[in-house]
Structure 1
Amino acid sequence: MPTPFAPATLIGESFVGEGANAAHTNIAIGRGAGPVETAWVTALATPSAGHVPFMTVIRPSVPVKPLTLFVNKAAAEGELHQRATWGSAQAGVAQGVVDAVEEGLLPAEEADDLRIIAAVWVNPAVDDLDMSFRNQRAAAYGAIRAAVSGTPTVPDILAAAEEGPANPFYSATAEVLAR
């Protein structure tokens, strides 16, 4: 019987936390030998200045499964931001993937055949590595849950749109929304 992972690519998103330690993660999940794996390998082989995708590990030399590529959305600059990106955020994403496998969102028996790309926001103003870890863990898990469950649904999106677009950096006013 086909799993929800075949043959489509699953996409999920999650934003967790507030302020400088908030986490925003976009996830693409797919099978090996499919488009996600092609993108995974291409991204790994073609880093750019400030953006060096790397394999997410639970410990050095122990990559998580499904193999997960960490792609930083903000170039790691400054000692604390670098420690958060390569340390707490990476560890949080790794633990979020492990949590998803342990809880059955991602089937353990298929983990060797799945690939994940995680595009991860770590705010350059991050100031708490433990909070960064917790938020990144929750965001990775939430993005996987959203991908697997197909949420939000179109009715969810339409309901949210009634209040107007908003994110931590901008909220549209009624005047802007008027047609």
Structure 2
Amino acid sequence: MPSPFAPAALIGESFVGAGANAAHTNVVIGRKGGPVETAWATALATPSAGHVPFMTVLRPSVPVRPLTLFVNKAAAEGELHQRATWGSAQAGLAQGVADAVSDGLVPAAEADDVLIIAAVWVDPAVDDLDASFRNQRAAAYGAVRAAVTATPTVQDVLAAAEHGPANPFYTPTAEVLAR
């Protein structure tokens, strides 16, 4: 009998922190044998310059469960940004996913049958690996939570739209928002 968890695909997003050490994570969660598995395998097999998807591990030779593909949104540039991308952010993603399983957001009994694709932003100006880890751990957990709880709801989005869009990189003025 099919599980009600991750019937085809669940999608979530989370942004945690501020400045150069903030983490922005998007996840797609789906069952093996479905479209998420096809996307997961295709992404792993077709890296592009600066963007090399890889399996997220808790430790070398211990991939997190559900198997999670780390897809970097920013090409790793410079020694510290590379250490943050392949080190602290990857470790934060692994721990955030493990926390989600530990807390029951992803049922442990389903973890071997589910795959996660995580698109992860690590700012090239990152300057604190510990902050990068903490923020990515929280963003990973938040993105998984958003995916499995289907939040925000349409009503949440419409309520937020009443105040206009805003993000760490741009907030339009009232003049720009006027129709």
Give the TM-score taking structure 1 as reference length.
0.98
1:130 partner letter: D
CA distance, structure 1, for counterparts of residue 47 and residue 76 of structure 2: 13
Q: Give the C-alpha shift of residue 86 in structure 1.
A: 0.1
The gaps in structure 2 that reach 5 residues or longer are none
Name the residue aligned to 2:171: 171
The gaps in structure 1 that reach 5 residues or longer are none
CA distance, structure 2, for counterparts of residue 3 and residue 54 of structure 1: 28
CA distance, structure 2, for counterparts of residue 157 and residue 34 of structure 1: 28
CA distance, structure 1, for counterparts of residue 115 and residue 161 of structure 2: 32
Q: Give the C-alpha shift of residue 4 in structure 1.
A: 2.9
Name the residue aligned to 2:57: 57
Name the residue aligned to 1:119: 119
CA distance, structure 2, for counterparts of residue 175 and residue 4 of structure 1: 44
Name the residue aligned to 1:145: 145
1:126 partner letter: V
Two-structure CA RMSD over aligned residues (Å):
0.7
Q: How many residues align?
A: 178
CA distance, structure 2, for counterparts of residue 12 and residue 142 of structure 1: 8
**SS where residue 5 of structure 1 aligns?**
coil
CA distance, structure 2, for counterparts of residue 37 and residue 166 of structure 1: 33
Name the residue aligned to 2:108: 108
Q: Identity percentage over the alignment?
A: 82
Contact 1:164–1:173 at 8 Å: present in 2 too? no
Name the residue aligned to 1:42: 42
Q: Give the C-alpha shift of residue 114 in structure 1.
A: 0.2
Name the residue aligned to 1:3: 4
Contact 1:68–1:115 at 8 Å: present in 2 too? yes
**SS where residue 151 of structure 1 aligns?**
coil
Structure 1 stretches of 4+ with a deviation exceeding 6 A read none
CA distance, structure 1, for counterparts of residue 47 and residue 99 of structure 2: 28
**SS where residue 28 of structure 1 aligns?**
strand
CA distance, structure 2, for counterparts of residue 9 and residue 130 of structure 1: 32
Q: Give the C-alpha shift of residue 144 in structure 1.
A: 0.2
CA distance, structure 2, for counterparts of residue 148 and residue 173 of structure 1: 34
CA distance, structure 2, for counterparts of residue 125 and residue 67 of structure 1: 29
Give the TM-score taking structure 2 as reference length.
0.98
